[in-house]
Amino acid sequence: MAISDHELIQAWKEVLTLSKLEPGQTVTVLTSAATHPQTLSTALTAAAMLGAVVNRLDLQPVNGEKALSRDSLAYLGTTPLTGNKAAIAALKASDLVLDLMTLLFSPEQHEILAAGTKILLAVEPPEVLARMVPTLADRARVLRATAKIEKAKTMRVVSAAGTELTCPMGEFPAIAEYGFCDTPGRWDHWPSGFALTWPNEKQTQGTIVIDRGDILLPMKRYVAEPITITVKDGFAQSITGGVDAELLAEYMESFKDPEAYAISHIGWGLQPRASWTTLALYDREATIGMDARAFEGNFLFSLGPNNEAGGSRSTTCHIDIPLRKCTVSLDGEEVVRVGKVLDQGQE
């Protein structure tokens, strides 16, 4: 359902205030061909109302001839900033970048963040943004989960469907995504709400069963029949099942990159305002599936790159798969039990 400009401006003002935007600071809104016009106009208005110096930087899209989908996460090669020194300089000189384009998994993004610039990604439909305006309570809950991940050495995931996965941890940092940028050099994504990390390289072992109703992204598809992934030494060694398994396997094979099969980030959803059902209600090209990634109690795992965490894997293939009804344990302590988050409200 459509949302009014007034409500979306108010949502932007809340997020920008949480992101500690101050009068006189510079905000650059990064856009491209797929940027939603209402999201753009309301972002510009809200930032100006809060006293910011507001710029818009519009860049040409890339990789369209290489990707098999219009989804901005379907191909992670070069970005519109690759080799664009003038654009990078403008973003590094900004206090806050509002990314309405999707600048992810790129060395240019790391360079901009290293300069102290904050980057907030916001590319979901306006009504989804408004439904999941982040709060300080979201931040507190995600940070509690992140603190648990930071202390743990092993994540174990099991399910009645047959998942039995063991992920040694500690080589990579824990990441908190709660929907706003409140410290210099921080990246976040509105909407979001989950805690994650990357397992130690080449150490994850076990079996993942993607059950009926679990979701394949970027396909934005609910699985109709189980898919079994055998994981050995940190890589998916086999993908078996019916048509859904063939779809996943052949899509990944199209990238012709062995690194695509590596276990990437692992974690769980913590956003109670996100819904598992949303993908059934939207056209596939209208959303990148943040409801699916963030809904409370999912176990979200990924295949592909780890360069966002400082690793060396920069494959163009990135698969996100949220699973329902899993039990997630950290060093033997359950943090999610059969899809229900166990959150005692304590560090």
Q: Which of 299, 292, 294, 293 is nearest to 335 (CA)?
A: 299
pLDDT value at position 347? Answer: 42
CA angle 346, 276, 12 (to 5 degrees): 70
- Interatomic CA distance for residues 169 and 331, integer angstroms: 10
Return the percentage of the chain with pLDDT > 90, whole number.
84
- Interatomic CA distance for residues 71 and 64, integer angstroms: 10
CA angle 131, 137, 140 (to 5 degrees): 130
CATH number of the domain located at residue range(s) 5-131 in this protein: 3.40.50.2300
pLDDT value at position 343? Answer: 82
Q: What is the pTM of this model?
A: 0.94
Segments of the chain scoring below 50 in pLDDT: 346-347
List of long-range contacts for 72-75, beta carbons under 8 Å, 24+ apart: 72/34, 72/101, 72/102, 72/104, 72/123, 72/288, 73/102, 73/104, 73/217, 73/218, 73/288, 73/318, 73/320, 74/218, 75/316, 75/317
Give the distance from CA 123 to its chain's centroid.
11
**Cβ–Cβ < 8 Å for 131, 294:** no
Q: Which of 295, 266, 249 is nearest to 166 (CA)?
A: 266
* Two structure tokens written together for 170: 């500690």
251 CB-near residues (< 8 Å, 6+ apart): 68, 219
* Two structure tokens written together for 28: 């650059």
> What residue segments make up the domains of the chain, in order of their start?
5-131, 136-341
- Please provide the DSSP assignment of 86-128 as one string: HHHHHHHT-SEEEESS---S-HHHHHHHHTT-EEEE--S-HHH
pLDDT value at position 65? Answer: 75
Tell me the backbone φ, ψ of residue 205, rounded to 5 degrees: -135, 150
For β-strands 96-99 and 26-31, DSSP reports them as parallel
How do the residues of the chain divide into helix, strand and coil, expressed in percent and rounded to 5?
Answer: 25, 30, 45
pLDDT value at position 345? Answer: 58
